[in-house]
Amino acid sequence: MTIDARPRVVIGVGGGIAAYKACELVRRFTESGHDVTVVPTAAALEFVGAATWAALSGKPVAADVWRDVHEVPHVRIGQEADLVVVAPATADLMARAAHGLADDLLTNTLLTARCPVVFAPAMHTEMWEHAATRANVATLRSRGAVVVEPAEGRLTGADSGKGRLPEPDELFQVATDIMARGERGLDLAGRHVVVSAGGTREYLDPVRFLGNRSSGRQGYALARAAVSRGAEVTLVSANVSLADPAGVKVVRVETTGQLRDAVVSSAASADAVVMAAAPADYRPTTVSDRKIKKAADGSAPGLELTQNPDILREISTQRTRPEAVVVGFAAETGDDTGSVLDLARDKLARKGCDLLVVNDVSGGAVFGSADNQAVILSAGGDAVDVPLGSKAALAHVIWDQVARRFDR
């Protein structure tokens, strides 16, 4: 007899219109080698039928506790799970879970599960913001569940606002990250962290701008990793064309000035700020309101620049919360004045941050890549060498260093 060693994932489906999105989530888990059991509520089956869930998971589907009673499914499914993901989690379902009700197969499963449990809420904005829902969310989080913040966007009908189910691909990444962490758990639970990502633009005219090659991938990886560790995450995103990470509040900016304002405002209530964005050091002193035309004689227009605010130094030296941890990034190539690490150590001292993540970008390395390697310098003189690996892996090493400082 062979034993199925695949990770066992339970997908609970609440009775909301976003139930159709859970089909893609089931597919992602099954195609990545997980053993998937779908447990819908009776209301969810009004939106997506049992045949669909059975076809996607390869298993029979039931919503009540009376099917296959001899196998005790109301206990066994939760006991055997390595991860439970509820998507969509309606206001009603979270209320029942928070109060320990067990009136169907899914709520029984939630009571018997001893693995990580992730709720992905989806509902209208007014329901999400209601005091009862907020209290139920707080209760679930206090018991160790991860309740992913809903996304903003189009809801049912003509309504828009906060309450949209995050995209399945993003939910999948957060959920698998939570399962991979296992007993290391939610060490950022109850913390508010701010992450900046991308590269700013400084406009010359309505068409042209000064910019840089930052893709925002590392900042987005940091935001996803923080969600999977239980944090409330604000992501200040500068000109990034990536999908919004699940559970993250995204603030979009273009220029360095806008980035500075958003970061400083968010940092006032933050336990940690990670400046992974690449702000432009300079901006034009004047910006033309019309496209600058090419000169007939071949001459080039003069370009006068002025220095932009030093955001990292400002939030490091003028902290609203002295206990907050501030992390900077340094993309260096080395020159006649010193090596990459020499220049980085000078920057760490000059900026006043607690940690500095140093990337050697000689030859254009790192930019736009899925992988990264770095050295993390601390103000106390320590250095952590992170070998080449995924940007997600580096993100977790950075949060490990931040979490250690919370424990001091």
- In this predicted model, what pLDDT tens digit does every residue of 330-386 receive, in sequence order? 988 878 788 899 999 999 999 999 999 999 887 666 676 889 999 999 999 999 999
Question: Where would I find the H helices in 87-216?
Answer: 91-98, 105-112, 125-129, 131-142, 168-181
- In this predicted model, what pLDDT tens digit does every residue of 24-56 receive, in sequence order? 999 999 999 999 999 999 999 999 999 999 999
Counting every residue, how long is the chain? 408
- Of these residues, 108, 212, 239, 308, which one is catalytic? 212
Domain 8-184: state its class: alpha beta
| Residue intervals in the chain for CATH 3.40.50.10300 | 192-290+299-406
**pLDDT mean over 281-301:** 91
Q: Which fold has domain 192-290+299-406?
A: Rossmann fold (3.40.50)
Tell me the pLDDT band of 2, cut-offs 50, 70 and 90.
very low
| Residue intervals in the chain for CATH 3.40.50.1950 | 8-184
Letter string b/e over residues 32-60, b meaning 16 or more CB atoms within 10 A of that residue's CB:
eebbbbbbbbebbbebbeeebbeebbeee
The question of whether 212 is a catalytic residue gets the answer: yes
What is the Cα–Cα distance from 229 to 146, expressed in whole angstroms? 9
